[in-house]
Chain A
């Protein structure tokens, strides 16, 4: 796909999705304090 080997798409895609999912989780669960 896109002229790239499958492994490149899978590795970068997985890391990016995990990073975004972790930051979404942070946003949802963040309570903060001030």
Chain B
């Protein structure tokens, strides 16, 4: 399928990303430059970094795939995911940014260690949990790129993974967040612009907005309702789905750390609205492309491959039929590459920061100099890239579900210690340790029971009415409240320093 023009388009994109990395590497003077881009991000750089970080490659294919499978009830995804950026800025960003400026935080673990007076135990647990969930999420990201590159070039899975990984790894390793932010700026523009141009063409090709809705309603009336009558995307499930996406993504380590890198807190004024509108419009169109794909499949325009995750291919086939120009397929491959790489680079850097700063510098070797911390960050970025690529060489359908599991584990592990720490003066170190460890373990257990359709203690875990992460989230909340009420309160001085209380900013 691939010709010279296709290879040229993809090659040009890779060269451009590497060029940005080499240019940005000249700005790196110390660890703060590497991990936080010298706390210098402007408004648009920050907004597009947040969008690019949240919007992954699998969400690009998975959004239309889920629309293809379940119709309008899944449109909630297109409201709650964009709202996660607003939630992150409003509920975490303002306060963390303000405290970080005076306290000099490099990572969110710095905040947790300070707020809960736990320089070793909570910091280590948060860093290890962060590395685990980031690796799960990173491995899952490769599914999308493998699907697209195999479709376009018909190359082996390992080669598709290797190509995507090696370019991202190089620019992230040499220039840290400066490269991540600049490449994400370009990648987000490609991603949003590409969706805004390509999605309407596919929708028009399928017969337009009204025809698509009328057609999918004739296939199954539930597909045009706001919720399903039962099971997944029934009202209770949508409630847990809202918490999962809005709060879970907002407190994900690779997303929340971005708030520490902004230049001026005044950018938080309109960033939530601007990010929501841009992301909402692009994702709405992408979801509707899934509905258009369903229309075309049912009308016999094309058939999808006979694989379990056939829905994930719907946008690829839609493009193939609505835009029968091979060069445009290569452009779409670049769009997916942009979506994947803008998330994977941030994940790799976050893993590097959590290991080199939180575990090595703050726990194992406090006297380590800045240069050695910077070098170790770079080594860990390389290792996380290679390790996750090796882990990704396994069945793609398993990888796709890992992304959902990753967000669920992030919610159950980080949301309660962060929210309670920022807003409840009664939250204690022991409460945070209990909430984080129980949240992590229970989400992994319930998530696995749900994934493997286990029946235990008379419960059919495949048919639980809420998303699995919600149960673990509730366990974490209860653990935080009960243990905090029974243990010694945090010093008032620390609570004042960390601006703890029922307000957004002082």
Chain A residues with a Cβ under 8 A of chain B: 2-5, 7-8, 11-12, 15-16, 19-20, 23-24, 26-27, 30-34
Tell me if B317 is interfacial: C-beta within 8 Å of chain A: no
Tell me if B294 is interfacial: C-beta within 8 Å of chain A: no
Is B224 within 8 A of A4, CB to CB?
yes
Q: Which residue from A7, A19, A24, A32 sits with its C-beta under 8 Å from B83?
A: A19
CB<8 Å pairs between A and B, sample of 5: A3-B224, A12-B72, A26-B273, A32-B266, A32-B269
- Within B54-82, the residues touching A (CB, 8 Å) are 72, 75, 79
Is A3 within 8 A of B212, CB to CB?
yes
Tell me if B210 is interfacial: C-beta within 8 Å of chain A: yes
A32/B72 contact (C-beta < 8 A), A16-B79, A20-B273, A24-B273 known: no
Is A2 within 8 A of B269, CB to CB?
no
Q: Which residue from A4, A8, A24, A33 sits with its C-beta under 8 Å from B505?
A: A33
Is B273 within 8 A of A27, CB to CB?
yes
Tell me if B264 is interfacial: C-beta within 8 Å of chain A: yes
Is A4 within 8 A of B213, CB to CB?
yes
Is A27 within 8 A of B72, CB to CB?
no
Residues of A within 8 A of B197 (CB): none
Q: How many residues of B contact A (CB 8 A)?
A: 32
User: B256-284 toward A: CB 8 Å interface, digit per residue (1/0)?
Assistant: 00000000111011101100110010000
- Within B223-277, the residues touching A (CB, 8 Å) are 224-226, 264-266, 268-270, 272-273, 276-277
Cα of A7 to Cα of B75 in the assembled complex, Å: 14
Residues of B within 8 A of A24 (CB): 273
Is A20 within 8 A of B276, CB to CB?
yes
In the assembled complex, the CB of B101 is this many whole angstroms from the nearest CB of chain A, namely 7
User: B109-141 toward A: CB 8 Å interface, digit per residue (1/0)?
Assistant: 000000000000000000000000000000000
Q: Which residue from B94, B213, B225, B277 sits with its C-beta under 8 Å from A32?
A: B94
Chain B residues with a Cβ under 8 A of chain A: 72, 75, 79, 83, 86, 90, 94, 98, 101, 209-214, 217, 224-226, 264-266, 268-270, 272-273, 276-277, 280, 505-506
Residues of B within 8 A of A4 (CB): 72, 213, 217, 224
A2/B98 contact (C-beta < 8 A), A7-B226, A34-B265 known: no
Is A19 within 8 A of B213, CB to CB?
no
Task: Considering the complex, give the chain B residue whose CB is closest to the CB of A22.
Answer: B86
Residues of B within 8 A of A15 (CB): 79
Is A2 within 8 A of B209, CB to CB?
yes
A23/B273 contact (C-beta < 8 A), A5-B224, A5-B225, A34-B101 known: yes
Question: Is the contact region of chain A dominated by helix, strand, or loop, or is it mixed?
Answer: helix
Residues of B within 8 A of A27 (CB): 269-270, 272-273
In the assembled complex, the CB of B310 is this many whole angstroms from the nearest CB of chain A, namely 25
Residues of A within 8 A of B214 (CB): 3
The 5 closest A-B pairs by CB, nearest first: A3-B213, A3-B214, A23-B273, A11-B226, A3-B210
Residues of A within 8 A of B272 (CB): 23, 26-27
Given A4-B72, A19-B83, list of 4 further CB < 8 A pairs?
Answer: A12-B72, A12-B79, A19-B276, A26-B86
Cα of A13 to Cα of B237 in the assembled complex, Å: 20
Cα of A15 to Cα of B265 in the assembled complex, Å: 28
Residues of A within 8 A of B79 (CB): 12, 15-16, 19
A2/B280 contact (C-beta < 8 A), A26-B272, A32-B94, A33-B505 known: no
Q: Which residue from B83, B225, B268 sits with its C-beta under 8 Å from A30?
A: B268
Is A8 within 8 A of B226, CB to CB?
yes
A23/B269 contact (C-beta < 8 A), A3-B214, A3-B224, A34-B98 known: no
Cα of A4 to Cα of B224 in the assembled complex, Å: 6
Task: Considering the complex, give the chain A residue whose CB is closest to the CB of B267.
Answer: A32
Is B506 within 8 A of A33, CB to CB?
yes
Is A20 within 8 A of B277, CB to CB?
yes
Cα of A7 to Cα of B98 in the assembled complex, Å: 43
Is A30 within 8 A of B269, CB to CB?
yes
Is B225 within 8 A of A8, CB to CB?
yes
Is A8 within 8 A of B270, CB to CB?
no
Is A33 within 8 A of B213, CB to CB?
no
In the assembled complex, the CB of B369 is this many whole angstroms from the nearest CB of chain A, namely 30
Residues of A within 8 A of B277 (CB): 20
Is A8 within 8 A of B72, CB to CB?
yes
Cα of A11 to Cα of B72 in the assembled complex, Å: 11
Cα of A3 to Cα of B295 in the assembled complex, Å: 14
Cα of A30 to Cα of B207 in the assembled complex, Å: 44
Cα of A23 to Cα of B85 in the assembled complex, Å: 11
Residues of B within 8 A of A12 (CB): 72, 75, 79, 226
Is B86 within 8 A of A32, CB to CB?
no
In the assembled complex, the CB of A17 is this many whole angstroms from the nearest CB of chain B, namely 11
In the assembled complex, the CB of A21 is this many whole angstroms from the nearest CB of chain B, namely 10
Cα of A4 to Cα of B505 in the assembled complex, Å: 42
Residues of A within 8 A of B226 (CB): 7-8, 11-12
Residues of B within 8 A of A34 (CB): 98, 101, 264-266
Cα of A23 to Cα of B225 in the assembled complex, Å: 26
